[in-house]
Structure 1
Amino acid sequence: MEAAVPAFIAALLTQIGDRSPWLVAILADRYGRPFTVAFAALLAQGAGNAIAAVGGALIGPILTPNAKQLLLALALIFAAMGALWRLKAPDRLEGWRLGSFVTALFGVFVLALGDTTQFFTLAFSVRAPSPWFALVGACTAVLIVNLAAALMGELSWRQLPIRNFRIVFGLLTLLAGVIVGAAALRLI
């Protein structure tokens, strides 16, 4: 259970400044079906996070405690780098004629594959006796953010201070990553 809360918090903060909810807001506006789009996005990102949790379950037992801590430090530093990088608009998928559910499912899956949320799920799942709690925590956060984006729509979503949030989140996450990494390397 101890992996669920940190995975939830990390995924929630990461997703707020990510491109996936932006795409969800775009697709919810286009199709006028916010719940369908949000559910498809949850399944898409849930699949990616499930892959990360399986990876954590497989490699967790062979990693030392310091290696697990270093993996978390890398996840934090990569999240910081991603947050401090300029946010590029997602492809609007205008040429996709697959309907609201399938377009959101495949579009969000492709966009989110290998994103920071999945790296956090991996990092938290290797540290936990039951890695599935990291998956549950991350998916709960993904659902909350994507549902909010779908219900708000693109115009309202883009009016949020996402840029400022990303800068603050990136700086704090970078600091945390350096501290956790230094502790993993026994420098502090």
Structure 2
Amino acid sequence: MEALLTSIVLVAIAEIGDKTQLLSFVLAARLRKPWPIIGGILAATLANHALAGWVGSLIAGWVPPTTLAWIVGFSFIGFGLWALHPDSLNDSPRLHQAGAFVTAFAAFFVAEMGDKTQFATVALAARFDSLALVVVGTTIGMMLANV
């Protein structure tokens, strides 16, 4: 349960002012189809965070527990500092005629690559032993902040 709650809170806070939060506003304003957009965001977040969580689980298997504790601790401090600096959406994505779900999925999946919430998911999965709870928690945190 600690993995789930920590994942929700950390990602929801990290997502405030993030480019994907701004992206959700742009998609909602331009496409005006809330349910397909929400579905696309949910599917992209699950896919992206499952991949990130899997990487975190692999790292946890390779790094000694004491070293991992230090890495995760410093990572969380870094995420906290990173969360204080809001992202900007520099280039508005081109919204093609692929439909709201596909557009939201593709835009969110790509926007999350290398994002602070993706790195947070890697660190959380390395810290906690429950990949599923971390992925569900980070996804809930993303949805709370973006929908």
Structure 1 segments of 4+ aligned residues over 6 angstroms from their partners: none
Deviations 1:127-161 (A, max 9, x none): 222222111110111122221xxxxxxxxxxxxxx
2:31 is matched with 31
Checking the alignment, whether the CA contact within 8 Å between 2:41 and 2:108 is kept in structure 1 is yes
* 2:12–2:142 CA contact under 8 A, matched in 1: yes
Partner of 2:98: 98
TM-score where L is the length of structure 2: 0.87
Structure 2: unaligned runs, 5 residues or longer: none
1:14·1:79 contact (CA, 8 Å) conserved in 2? yes
For 2:75 and 2:39, how far apart are their aligned partners in 1?
26
Structure with more relative contact order (C-alpha pairs < 8 Å, separation 6 or more): 2
**Structure number with larger C-alpha Rg:** 1
- Which runs of 5 or more structure 1 residues have no equivalent in the other structure? 148-188
**Deviation at residue 9 of structure 1 after TM alignment:** 0.7
| TM-score normalised by L of structure 1 | 0.70
Q: CA RMSD in A?
A: 1.9
Identity of aligned residues (%): 29
| Number of residues of Structure 1 aligned to a counterpart in Structure 2 | 147
Paired with 1:78 and 1:90, the residues of 2 have a C-alpha distance of 23
CA distance in structure 1 between the aligned counterparts of 2:40 and 2:98, rounded to whole angstroms? 13
**Aligned position for 1:123:** 123
Residue aligned with 1:101, SS? helix
* Contact persistence 2:15–2:83 (CA under 8 A): no
Please report how far the alpha carbon of residue 59 of structure 1 lies from its aligned counterpart in structure 2 after TM superposition. Answer: 2.2
Matched, 1:45 2:7: no
How far residue 74 of structure 1 moved from its aligned partner, in angstroms, is 3.8
